[in-house]
Chains A and B, each alone.
Chain A
Amino acid sequence: MREQHPRFDHIGRRDFLTVSAAGLALAGAPALAAGQAKRSGEIAAGLSERMLTLDPANHYSISTTSVLRHLFDPLIDVTNDSKFVPALAETWRPVNNTTWRFTLRKGVTFHDGTPFNADSVVFTLRRVQSNSKLIKSFVYQDIESVEKDGDYGVIVTSKRPFGSLPAHLTMLGMLPPSAAKNEEAFFQKPIGTGPFRFASWTHGDQIAMTANPTYWKPGIPKVEKVTFRFIPELSTRTAALRAGELQVIDRVTPDLVETLKGTRGVKVLDVPAIEAQRWVFQLGKEPVKDQRLRQAISLAIDRGVIIKELLRGYGRPVDSPVPPGLIGHMTLPAKVYDPEKARQILKQAGYSNVSVDIVLMKDFYPKQLEITQAVAAMLGDVGIKLNIKNLEIASAREQRTAGTYDLFFSGWAHMPHDPDWYFGQWFTKAGSEKLTRYTNPRVEQLIAEGRVPDPKVRQAKYEELERIVWDEDAELWLYYTVAIYGISDRLRNFEARRDYYVLLSDVAIA
């Protein structure tokens, strides 16, 4: 599992009116005879992370989200450039800071023929909000009520402003209310409104789906069958792609790119991900509590070398805590490499022979140990000793909870294409209590003010708070990750997603 933080972006940082208008325009288009498009072939994809459940509300996994997107439709979809576009909701708008209204698409049916309407949305949202056994429940705790407004309208009110709600909804498939009768049986053989119908699955091994011939989006899907196999071992995924057994694999590492490029019939696609690699400090204790030391550490690291040598160019320099394309992204002064200045700062602050512990979650990120060793050498150059503690994941997280670390190797995928969760978790007193122990009342206030639906207000608040945390060197921002996919050259229209999704509804095979 990687760090997944699905977060939705909400309607677009730009203008929700545009999105709504686009939705209306789409809705008005005559439904082209669906299913008349020629559909042929099948695609098998190999994903790195195991899917453990078919319940859209009971996981927070990126692989699972992308697989379930084929069975279930969410209310809203997010495009690769982080725009929010209509799915089962044709339009949505904030009525006020704590109320959203969604207008639903008409004429959509579940795979068993029952119509999709407001009852489905009310059931799905109330279920995830009220059942604290569900993994995704905590995301929706701010919701106060979900009410029908006619058969195709839903009003959601929240206890406090919930501007990121549309973004979160891109990760939540809509269920038929009949699922409530026997949830366990339902999720063994689920029914959604999605472009594919469930065929079979083995827990954590593979899932097969067949085309939904009556899908509401004309001409979709383009193939008869898709299979997702879960193969955590990268060399095995790669071999299956090279042997032609799979047509797509995700999470390719830079060192395998050349091998794949050298294989006939295989292509490599890459795209800057919506993930930032940033190591976090334990800000509640010495020595990294001292901003001067954090600044010296940042100055002593040559990020260019990491990107060029260790990641073979598959990384991007950071210019903001939030990756480009998302609400809140801005261009801040580059984090430069200046070992001389780092030494000076250390000297002035009276540090000599300072030693810092970094905790790694074993085998969690590709190349993490090599990168950490390189950083240890760089820090050693300016007189900081970095002790590497490579621990089993659960133990590493335990240490972070207990606060017995100085630095922690971690990344953050801004999953629902929205930074509200990131800021709310890592930069508020309550959120960071068992993580970084960060506290700054001004930042906290800006985060709260940034929760409103208005993207312009949000952008302004986020820019102000990002300047603060950037100057504080509150985290050690290193680089933005690049997502790499291997695909068969027989695929048409495959999009390398910035959020690591593998979406096949729109993909054809020659």
Chain B
Amino acid sequence: MRTYILRRVAQSALTLLGVSVLVFVILRVLPGDPARMLLPDGAPESAVAELNRQLGLREPLIVQYGLFLRSVAHGDFGQSFQYRAPALRVVLERLPATVQLTVAAMLVTIAAGVSLGIITAVLRGTRYDVAGTIVAVLGQSLPNFWLGIMLILLFGVALRWLPTSGFASWTSLVLPAVTLAAFPTALVARLTRSSMLEILNRDYVRTGRAKGLTEQSVVLRHALRNAAIPVLTVIGLQIGSLLGGAVITESVFAWPGMGKLIVDAIFFRDFPVVQTVLILSATVFVAINLLVDLLYTVVDPRIRYS
């Protein structure tokens, strides 16, 4: 087990180094010039050249990368071109909002998605199943943008129950979390349903029922536990991608998260911010994958790593 973990950690480090090279090179071969994006349109060429020099973009690529690696090793991800502040600080400032939104959306996903999946599986073929399936299909097919605006218009503008946007109190978290959770909830619900259906037909479930276990115990203790493995995998992946950015939801709700930050940073060629966000989220993604793999052993004792 220990060897396995060590090997996985080493692999992860290598992956991250690869990510850093890719990000670094791709950003710099993209057309577009950071100084030109920072200066007002129509600033003199001399100003563009001078600013690029100040930003350190006149050095050869390999020198820039070397300097970058050295400062990252010291925990310094460079100065954001746009914000004129340390890129790491700019990114970390967005972290609380991103984490809150991700956690809230995941809680909604797990609570609603898993319940919906169980209900539709157990009540298969009834009108509850049909209704649940419709909800799931809608969740996967409604564009976030539209759903978000509709929720704002209903709960923010018409009823005035919840704030329309921003990052102030827990109430401002409700609408973006629900919007963001719509897609993964539907995904988890459908996956739980099909996984449960498969398990519920197994012999040991019939045996459980035959020996007089309550239906609740059969479904929740025996079936769900076995059906959970694919669901866990999907949830792990979803957390990773939500952390990486919920760009549309963040835009619609003016939520100060990382998704919008990175999209803007790409548009405006703010290399240090893009690098910081991508490297940090790659790190989180890799770590979560590792954790999920290890969690399998807890959920399913048959799985052993050596």
Contacts and interface: CB of A to CB of B under 8 A. Distances in A.
Interface of A: 3-6, 50, 52-53, 55, 58, 60, 132-133, 135, 137-138, 184, 202-206, 229-233, 235-236, 239-240, 242-245, 392-395, 397-398, 401, 410, 412, 421-422, 425-426, 430-431, 433-435
Interface string B42-56: 111111001100100
A394 B31 contact: yes
B84 interface: yes
A244 B158 CA distance: 11
Contact of A430 (B44, B261, B268): B44
Given A132-B51, A204-B256, A392-B267, A5 B41 contact: yes
A401 B36 contact: yes
Interface of B: 30-33, 36-47, 50-51, 54, 82-85, 90, 93, 149, 152-153, 156-157, 160, 163-167, 251-254, 256, 261, 264, 267-269
Contacts of B268: 393-394
Contacts of A394: 30-33, 36-37, 267-269
Contact of A52 (B83, B93, B152): B83
User: Lowest 6 A-B CB distances belong to which pairs?
Assistant: A394-B32, A138-B47, A60-B40, A205-B256, A231-B254, A398-B31
B39 A397 contact: no
11 contacts: A50-B264, A52-B82, A60-B39, A138-B39, A138-B47, A236-B152, A240-B156, A240-B164, A243-B157, A243-B163, A421-B42
Contacts of B30: 394
A52 B37 CA distance: 14
A193 to B, nearest CB: 23
A430 B44 CA distance: 8
A239 B42 contact: no
Which of A229, A243, A422 is packed against the most chain B CB atoms within 10 Å?
A243
A3 B40 contact: yes
A5 B90 contact: no
A204 to B, nearest CB: 7
Contacts of B36: 394, 397-398, 401
A473 B150 CA distance: 46
Which of B38, B44, B153, B269 is packed against the most chain A CB atoms within 10 Å?
B44
B44 A431 contact: yes
Given A53-B83, A235-B252, 16 more contacts: A4-B41, A52-B82, A135-B39, A135-B51, A184-B85, A236-B152, A239-B149, A239-B153, A240-B165, A245-B164, A393-B267, A394-B31, A395-B31, A412-B42, A426-B42, A434-B45
Contacts of A393: 32, 37, 267-268
B256 A202 contact: yes
A190 to B, nearest CB: 13
A410 B83 contact: no
Nearest to B81: A52
A232 B38 CA distance: 18
A138 B44 contact: yes
B41 A397 contact: yes
Nearest to A5: B40
Contacts of A53: 83-85
A204 B31 CA distance: 25
